[in-house]
Amino acid sequence: MIPFSSDSEMQKIPELTQEFFEHVLYDEEPLFISDEATIWDVSMSTVEELISRISRYYKKPVSVAELAQPLWKLIRQLNEGSIAANQSRRVLTDE
pTM of the model: 0.79
pLDDT tens per residue, the chain (95 residues)? 677 789 999 999 999 999 999 999 999 888 889 999 999 999 999 999 999 999 999 999 999 999 999 999 999 999 996 544 444 434 444 44
Burial per residue of 15-45, b for 16 or more beta-carbon CB atoms within 10 angstroms, e otherwise: ebbebbbeebbeeeeeeebbbebebeebbeb
